[in-house]
Structure formats: structure tokens, C-alpha cells
Amino acid sequence: MVHMVRITPLPQTLNTQPFTIYESRMLGVAPKRLRARDVLDGGRLIYLPAGREFVLAERSRVLAAATPGAWVSHESAAILTGLGLPPWLGKEETIHLSKPHGLPRVRRAGVAGHRVHALPGEVMEIDGIPVSVPPRTWLDLAHHLPLAYVIAMGDQLIRMPRPGLEGRTEPYAFKEGLRLLIRQHPNMKGVEKARLALDEMRVGADSFPETFLRLAMLDARLPEPELQLRLDPDDPWSPSADLGYRRFRTAVQYDGAPHLTRDQQSRDNRRDEGFTSDGWSYFKANADDLAEGFTSLIARIKKAKLRSL
């Protein structure tokens, strides 16, 4: 007769996410229970419920909990805070953890460890996970990114959020605060690039492609465009385009993935009709234009501008 060994179920909070040995002890789990087949060794002090894949936030939480004094930073922080990354970053499983200079660098599998000089207020919590605040994340990444991406990420810091969608009413930062941040970290790699980017950042770009479009227009020697250009500047409900020139009655809209929903397309159609029926030259850009650096789009904008002179 074969006797089946009954495994005591883990507490529900440990059965659904990675956990540290300290968390299991606090819940009264015996050490031998962690050697059962439904629990995997996740590395020093960490255990994983078997049979699940874990998202970045779950892995970040347990790694930070198992590493006293550490917080999530760099690419990992950019993902957790929604700041955004270039397409070639943030795809690997690695979690970036930072510690103050006075503590040893984090060394464990699946972690990129950093030792940094951090000031009070540069780390926050997201659902209990210590994470670099977005301005500090921007500065941490400046050394690793091309200047255009530092500008684009900076535009995301200073843009006005949509309260109904993002749950906040203030930008992540203002330009004066970023200038102070740069002055407080004069010896960081990338600080000069961040300073250059700050001069080129503008409030009003809601996405990286919108920033790249603006920069491409400036590189093509077009005038500085107005951002979030409202058809009637005195009417807050008037249709608005991403950027353009009121003087030349020219507007440009970048339509990315969020514009593919039926509701958004209906709103976009009303916006488009508002500009065209009022006699504006109206242009729509997409990912194909982005891939070619907006070259043909800018050529068409220049022709429209010349016709309006």
C-alpha cells in the first residue's frame, strides 16, 4: 500500500507571488515546507511558487525585499513608472537594483547592480516596491541613451498628465526642478547630455514619436512648432492637433496605437474634419513616417507652408 504525503498548503499570499524566507517565517511556514515540489528556489533568500511566470513588478518586489537598502532603478524603474524606454531596452528579464555608495553592490543572478549617490526624495514606493522617482530615472539613463531619447523621455517628465487616465494632476517634474537635480549630481555620467536635453525639452509632447517629429521638423529648418495646437485657442473644447503652425494654418497629428480603437477613431475623425473644414493644411503621421525619419511628411509640410505665405 502506497501512502500519499499530504503537503500543507502555503498561505494564500505566498502561493501567488515570489516571496522571501523572511516573509514565510513571519507567516509560520516551516523551513522544510519550502523544500516541497510546489516551491522553487529563486536564489538567495527567495522562493517561487512552481508553475507560474512572474511579471516585472512581482520580481522587483521580492528582489528589493531580499536586498536591504536597495531599490529598483534604471530601465526597470522606467517600466514600473510608465516613463517609457527605447525599443531595444527593457526586453530582458534583468532587474536593475541600486544601492548607496556606502553599501556593497547587489550581486545575484538576474540582477544588474548599481552603486549610486542618491539624495532624499529620489526614491519612492509603488505598491510597496522602492523605485527611483522618474526624474532620477531619467538622469540615471541619460548616459546610456542617444540625445533624442533623453529629450523624448524628458518631455514625458514635464508634460501635463491626463488625470482621468493616469491618476495624477501634476507633471513628474518641472524644468527648474530638473536643473536643480543636474546641479546636485555634477559628477554623474550623462549629466552633460541631460543638460543639453533640458534645453530642447518642451511641454506638450504626449509620446516619444511626437517628440521625434518635432525634432525632425527643427532639423529640417522649419520653425519651432506650437504643441497641442487648438483650432480655437479661446475654446477649451475646440479640436487640437499634436503640433503645427497657426500662422501658416498647418496642423500635424501623430496617430499611434492608442488611436486604433473605435471610440478614438470617432474622436479623431471629428478633430480632422474640424481642421480641414476650417481650411487648414492637415497632416497625419504614423509609424511608417517615424521609420523613415518623417522625411516625406516634412517635405509636404514645407510645401504647405510655402503656399500659405
pLDDT band at 213 (very low <50, low <70, confident <90, very high): very high
- What would the pLDDT profile of 55-88 be if each residue is shown by its tens digit? 888 889 889 988 889 999 999 999 999 998 998 9
The residue that leads in pLDDT, 230 or 106, is 230
Q: What is the pLDDT of residues 183-198, one digit of tens each?
A: 999 999 999 999 999 9
The segment(s) of the chain belonging to CATH 3.40.960.10 are 208-308
Question: How much is the pLDDT for 39?
Answer: 76
Superfamily name and number for 208-308: VSR Endonuclease (3.40.960.10)
**Residue 151's pLDDT is what?**
98
| pLDDT-based confidence at residue 267 (cuts at 50, 70, 90) | confident
| pLDDT score, position 263 | 65
Q: What is the 3-state secondary structure (H, E, C) of the chain?
A: CCCCCCCCCCCHHHHCCCEEHHHHHHCCCCHHHHHCCCEEECCCCEEEECCCCCCHHHHHHHHHHCCCCCEECHHHHHHHCCCCCCCCCCCCCCEEEEEECCCCCCCCCCEEEEEECCCCCCEEEECCEEEECHHHHHHHHHCCCCHHHHHHHHHHHHCCCCHHHHCCCCCCCCHHHHHHHHHHCCCCCCHHHHHHHHHHCCCCCCCHHHHHHHHHHHHCCCCCCEEEEECCCCCCCCCEEEEEECCCCEEEEECCHHHHCHHHHHHHHHHHHHHHHCCCEEEEECHHHHHCCCHHHHHHHHHHHHHHC
With bands split at pLDDT 50, 70 and 90, how would you rate the model's confidence at 1?
very low
- Note the pLDDT of residue 257: 59
